[in-house]
Amino acid sequence: MFKEALVTVLCFIVIYIIFRVLLRKKELLAKQLLAGLLALTLLLNIGYNVHAFFPAFVLDGINYLGDASGNLFIYNKESEFSDQILFPVLQNRAVLIDESADFYALFFNTFAEKTTKVSLTADERASLISTQDQLSFSDRFPIVSLANYAFPEYMKISEIPMLYLDEEALVGEDTLVAVADEDGNLYLFAQSTYREVTGHE
Q: Which residues contact 141 (CB under 8 A, 6 or more apart)?
A: 83, 160, 161, 162, 163, 185, 186
pTM over 0.85? The answer is no
pLDDT at 74 over 60: no
Q: How far apart are CA 10 and CA 14, in angstroms?
A: 6
Higher pLDDT, 80 or 194: 194
The number of beta carbons lying within 10 Å of the beta carbon of residue 74 is: 16
> What's the pLDDT tens digit per position in 160-172?
889 998 888 888 8
